[in-house]
Structures are given as C-alpha cells and as structure tokens.
C-alpha cells in the first residue's frame, strides 16, 4: 500500500506525525468501554447528544473562529452549513433515537408457527470516523451523532488540513461528552495509516478516492466494513427554455451562485462543478451570473478562501492550460498571499482539459454549451457517477429522463446543496462517488447491525423436517414452502397423491 503522506509542508506543523503510545492505549480503553455495555442504554446515548448540543451552543464563537481560521468562512456560512445543520441533526436524533432502537417485528410464516420474528438493531462496536477539511466540523460531528445514537464507542480523526477545527474538537469533545467512549485523535496521513492497522467495527471515510482506496485496502485485512463518502463532478443542467427570463431566472441564478461560491468557495463535494446550458442561452445566463455575483460578493470576506497553498497551486494549475485560460470570461484573479481566488466563469474549456476531467473543488465554474438541453443527459451519463446531479427546469419530461437515465448519489431540481440538510433523505454516493449513506435515521443504520432474531416454541413439531426421508415428506414440504396450506393438509392426511 502506498504511503498516504503527500508532502510534509502541507501538513500543519502542529499535526502529530505518529500515534503516541498513550493514544494507542486509548483505543484499548474504548474497546473495554464498549464491552462493559456503557454505551448501550438509551439514556447514555441521549446524554451524549445533549452534551453535543451544549457544546454547539456554548462554544459557538470558538467554533466560528476555528472555521474562519481554517477556511475564512463567514459566521453566517459557518452557521448555515455547519453549526446550524448539526444542531438540527442533534435535535432530530434526540427526538427519534427511541424509535430507532426499537426492534421491528416482521412477519413469520405459518410453517414456523409458533414463532416470533424481529429485526433488532445493535451497535457495531468501536468505530472510526475520518473527517474532511472543507466542512471540518460538520463532517466530523454529523457522523458522530449517528454513531453515538447507535450506541457505539467512537474515534474521530479530524483532517489535519483544518487544524484549528481539529484542535477545537480535541479540546472540547472530552468536556461535553463521555471521554471514555468518544476520543478525538489528531494527526496527519501517518496517523491515519496507523489507525487503519487496527481492527474497527466500521470505518467512515470522507475525502478523495485516492485516500479512500488506501483506507479500504487496509480495512480489507481485518474485514472491517467501510463507508466512503467521495465526490465527483456534480453537473448542473440549466434548462433556460423552461426556466424563462423572469423571476425564476433570478432565483435560479441566486441558487447556482449559492451552490458554487457560497459553500466553502466551491470546495464542497455537493457544490455545482460545472453547468450545461443551451448555446443560445449561455450569454443571458453568464450576464445574470456576473451581475448577481457583483451584488452578492461585493466584499471579499463573503466567500471562504482556498484551504491551503497546495490546493491553491492545484486550482491555479487548472487555469494555466492556454486553451482553458482563453475560455475565462469573468474573474480569474488569484491572490497567493491570502489564498483567495475570485469567482471565475469559463465558457467551453476543452472537454479533455484537467478542469473538465478532474473534480474542480474550487471557485471556478465552467459553462459547457449544448445544442439541445436534452443532450446534457448523454454528457452526464458518459462520465463517472457524481454525488449529485442538479437541474433547473420546469419540464416534467426532462425531469423524468434525468432521474431515470442518469445515476448519482442524489438529484435535486431547482436548487442545489440544500438536499444535504434534509435528514429524511439518505446522503451518499454511488459508483465513483462512494458507497454507504447517512443523515437522519440512515446515520443510525450506518453504524448498526440489524440482527435477525427468530423465537420458536417447543410445542408444534413438524415431523416432516427430519430424516429418514420419503416422497410424502418432500411433497408436504413443497406445499409448505409455497405457503400452500390447503394442499399441505391434503397431503398430510394422505388425500393427495405425491
């Protein structure tokens, strides 16, 4: 397995390079805690969730500061996308966890009478959550909520590329939650590797496919089940014809800007990566984007910055290609000192350029024109399955075709990114965008094992189950298996020929 360490410079100087002995001992403590049964009672789980809510309320300012340090996020964005969503999820989990843990009765066929069949959720044990740097609070705590609600002991490994938030978590989680059951371990790729040498009962990884492969390969040695939340190039199909030119157009443009630049400056797995629009409408769309951007992003502090120098170089590199540079219509200003890139719009960069083959994860928006909007569907199908497909349209046939003919983690019509906050919808990818889903009840299920439990009595004994065998027994069993009780009785009574 290749090393996860890319370059030492990019890792925050404070990040530990290797797990210290005491950290490894922590892991043993978590296992004992889980085996003692401490994390199982509903009351414990609820107390942890309440602790988390208190943390989010009492330490809100520190959280905002950390997110601003790491990514230059404005308080409003930090609240709207991270803190606020977590509060909502925590409250929902508190309300619902009692329901989630309840065994589910299922139907047992007459052939097993008397019998009682149930599906009983149980915690998997000790789980590991790898978070990501772009929503460092949200992507750490949202899965944590589910893992705790499911009754597990948890290790949280925040991303070292968002060191202020990692430190915030390490400093505070132990004060608000049960430190014998929930631990935060900071570190870089080497620490990640060391953690993966252990056996876990589940690992959730949020990040890029390259590291996901290393995590899954390490997990396979222990048969550790994994869930991978990856990304992809989330397309936005803009059906100008049905959106029109009035208020709906402005609304759509607002929402596109929100989904591209207002969410961590495009550094989001669910951000709009590129737009597909009919040739004839492209100028109108571009004009509206420009004017609305002027209104929304007048101050530079309205948009998050690029997380670090390496990603800044990567994004700059995307624009270096002369054909790509020539397609820039708006923006393009880069400030290496402040790690700021202004909202940039490109028109038809070459389809084989890096900007159109790799996930952009930044404030660059390519607009690709098509002859007919329906051609977008083939365009999207020809590419790896993304985490989300977006479409602004009022056309029911187009909507149906998009749902039926494209595959993605999710589809959202006439808005983008907001699906993330709806906890009744499973959140996760498919194909290259990953596997495993969470949010709401799905988070609970992600960290649970649904155990089938069948209870029988001694009373009714089906003689035909046992050897020695004969044709009559076979016939009776055939009827039973088809739940054909009438024929069974006839055969049993000898009234039916076998």
Instruction: Please select the residue that binds another protein; options are 5, 24, 108, 370, rule is CB under 8 A.
Output: 108
Crossing angle of the two packed helices 163-176 and 60-71, in degrees rounded to 10: 160
| Part in contact with another protein (CB under 8 A); list of ranges 162-170, 323-331, 355-363, 429-437 | 429-437
> Whose Cβ is closer to another protein: residue 22's or residue 458's?
458
Exposure on the CB side of residue 4, measured as CA atoms within 13 A: 26
Q: Which of 90, 236, 269, 340 is catalytic?
A: 269
Tokens of 94: 């508190």
- Pairing between strand 115-123 and 448-456? antiparallel
Looking at beta carbons only, is 324 or 417 nearer to another protein? 417
Among the residue ranges 5-13, 155-163, 255-263, 351-359, the one whose residues contact another protein (CB under 8 A): 255-263
Q: How far apart are CA 358 and CA 233, in angstroms?
A: 7
Please select the residue that binds another protein; options are 25, 99, 337, 458, rule is CB under 8 A.
458
| Distance from C-alpha of 209 to C-alpha of 76, rounded to nearest angstrom | 30
Largest distance between two CA atoms of the chain? 91
Angle between helix 42-58 and 138-149 (nearest 10): 160
Q: In whole angstroms, give the CA distance from residue 67 to residue 73.
A: 6
Binder of another protein out of 223, 486, 493, 495 (CB under 8 A): 223
CA-closest candidate to residue 289, choices 246, 329, 348, 324: 329
**Closest approach of another protein to the CB of residue 14, in Å:** 30
Q: Of residues 159, 408, 443, 491, which one binds another protein by CB under 8 A?
A: 408
Check: CB of residue 274 under 8 Å from CB of residue 237. no
* 162/209 Cα distance (integer angstroms): 19
Instruction: Considering the complex, state which of residue 206 and residue 432 has its C-beta at the smaller distance from another protein.
Output: 432
Q: Smallest gap, in angstroms, from Cβ of residue 373 to another protein?
A: 17
Query: Which C-beta is closer to another protein: that of 139 or that of 211?
Result: 211
Q: What is the dihedral of CA 139, 252, 266, 359, to 10 degrees?
A: 100
| Binding segment toward another protein, per CB under 8 A, in 183-191, 250-258, 280-288, 309-317 | 250-258
Closer to another protein by CB, 26 or 74: give it: 74
* Among the listed residues 118, 122, 120, the one whose alpha carbon sits nearest the alpha carbon of residue 105: 118
CA distance 283 to 34: 60
| Residue showing tokens 């460092």 | 136
Q: Is 44 one of the binding residues for another protein (CB under 8 A)?
A: no
Residue nearer to another protein on the CB measure, 232 or 349: 232
397 binds another protein (CB under 8 A): no
Among 48, 79, 186, 339, binds another protein (CB under 8 A): 79
378 binds another protein (CB under 8 A): no
d(CA 17, CA 177): 26
Closer by beta carbon to another protein, 227 or else 368: 227
- Asked if residue 53 binds another protein (CB under 8 A), the reply is no
CA–chain centroid gap for 94, Å, is 21
Q: Is residue 498 a contact residue for another protein (CB under 8 A)?
A: no
Smallest gap from Cβ 122 to another protein, in A, equals: 6
In terms of phi and psi (left: phi > 0; alpha: psi -120 to 50; beta: otherwise), the region of 437 is beta
Q: For residue 61, give both structure tokens.
A: 């300012």
Q: C-beta of 186: minimal distance to another protein in Å?
A: 26
Q: How far apart are CA 368 and CA 322, in angstroms?
A: 17
85 binds another protein (CB under 8 A): yes
Among 22, 99, 247, 337, binds another protein (CB under 8 A): 247
Position 39 contacts another protein (CB under 8 A): no
Pick from 54, 290, 314, 449 the residue near another protein by CB under 8 A: 449
Position 87 contacts another protein (CB under 8 A): yes
Cβ proximity of 240 and 279 under 8 Å: no
Q: Least separation, in Å, of the C-beta of 156 and another protein?
A: 22
Q: Which of 16, 29, 31, 40 binds another protein (CB under 8 A)?
A: 40
- The three-class DSSP label of residue 390 is strand
Q: Which stretch binds another protein (CB under 8 A): 10-18, 160-168, 329-337, 408-416?
A: 408-416
Instruction: Tell which positions 283-302 bind another protein, by CB under 8 A.
Output: 295-299, 302
Q: Is residue 401 close enough to count as binding another protein by CB under 8 A? A: no
> Would you count residue 414 as binding another protein (CB under 8 A)?
yes
**Minimum distance from CB of 306 to another protein (Å)?**
17
User: With CB under 8 A as the contact rule, which of the stretches 77-85, 186-194, 283-291, 321-329 interacts with another protein?
Assistant: 77-85
What single DSSP character describes residue 117?
Answer: E
Minimum gap (Å) between residue 173 Cβ and another protein: 22
Task: For residue 229, indicate whether it is catalytic.
Answer: yes
Q: Which residue has the tokens 């990856």?
A: 230
Residue 375 binding another protein, by CB under 8 A: no
Task: Spell out the residues 6+ positions from residue 352 whose beta carbon is closer than 8 angstroms to its own.
Answer: none
Binder among 303, 315, 319, 345 for another protein (CB under 8 A)? 303
Q: Kindly state the smallest distance separating residue 74's Cβ from another protein, in Å.
A: 5
- Residues 477-496, interacting with another protein (CB under 8 A): 477-478, 481-482
**How many C-beta atoms lie closer than 10 Å to residue 198's C-beta?**
18
Tokens representing residue 206 in the block: 């949020």
Which DSSP helix (H) or strand (E) runs through 148?
helix 138-149
Q: Catalytic residue numbers?
A: 229, 269
């Amino acid at each position: 397995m290749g090393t996860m360490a890319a370059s030492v410079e990019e890792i925050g100087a404070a990040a530990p390079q290797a797990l210290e002995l005491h950290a490894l001992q922590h892991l043993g403590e978590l296992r004992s805690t889980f085996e003692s049964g401490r994390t199982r009672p509903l009351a414990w789980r609820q107390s942890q969730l309440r602790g988390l809510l208190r943390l989010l309320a009492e330490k809100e300012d520190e959280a905002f500061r950390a997110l601003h340090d790491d990514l230059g996020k404005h308080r409003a964005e930090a609240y709207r996308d991270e803190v606020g969503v977590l509060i909502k999820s925590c409250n929902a989990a508190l309300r619902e966890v009692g329901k989630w843990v309840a065994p589910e009765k299922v139907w047992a066929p007459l052939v097993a009478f008397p019998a009682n069949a149930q599906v009983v959720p149980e915690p998997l044990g000790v789980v590991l959550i790898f978070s990501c740097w772009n929503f460092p609070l949200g992507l750490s705590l949202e899965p944590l909520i589910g893992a705790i609600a499911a009754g597990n002991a948890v290790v949280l490994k925040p991303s070292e590329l968002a060191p202020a938030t990692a430190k915030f978590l390490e400093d505070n989680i132990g004060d608000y939650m049960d430190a014998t059951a929930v631990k935060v371990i900071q570190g870089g790729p080497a620490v990640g590797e060391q953690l993966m040498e252990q056996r876990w009962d589940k690992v959730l990884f949020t990040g890029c496919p390259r590291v996901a492969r290393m995590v899954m390969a390490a997990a396979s040695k222990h048969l550790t089940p994994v869930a991978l939340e990856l990304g992809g190039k989330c397309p936005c199909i803009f059906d100008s014809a049905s959106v029109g030119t009035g208020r709906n157009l402005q609304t759509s443009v607002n929402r596109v800007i929100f989904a591209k630049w207002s969410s961590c400056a495009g550094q989001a797995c669910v951000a709009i990566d590129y737009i597909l629009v009919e040739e004839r409408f492209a100028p109108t769309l571009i004009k509206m984007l420009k004017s609305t951007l002027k209104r929304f992003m007048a101050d530079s502090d309205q948009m998050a910055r690029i997380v670090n120098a390496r990603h800044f170089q990567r994004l700059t590199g995307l624009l270096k290609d002369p054909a790509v540079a020539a397609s820039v219509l708006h923006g393009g200003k880069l400030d290496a000192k402040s790690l700021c890139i202004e909202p940039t719009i490109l028109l038809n960069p070459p389809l084989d350029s890096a900007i159109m083959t790799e996930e952009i994860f930044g404030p660059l928006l390519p607009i690709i024109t098509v002859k007919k909007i329906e051609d977008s569907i083939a365009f999207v199908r020809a590419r790896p399955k993304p985490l989300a497909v977006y479409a602004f349209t009022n056309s029911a046939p187009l909507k149906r075709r998009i749902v039926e003919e494209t595959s993605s983690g999710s589809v959202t019509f006439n808005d983008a990114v907001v699906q993330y906050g709806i906890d009744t919808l499973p959140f996760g990818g498919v194909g290259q965008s990953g596997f495993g889903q969470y949010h709401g009840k799905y988070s609970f299920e992600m960290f649970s094992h649904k155990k089938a439990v069948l209870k029988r009595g001694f009373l009714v004994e089906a003689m035909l189950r046992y050897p020695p065998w004969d044709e009559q027994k076979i016939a009776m069993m055939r009827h039973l298996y088809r739940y054909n009780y009438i024929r069974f009785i006839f055969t049993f009574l000898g009234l039916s020929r076998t």
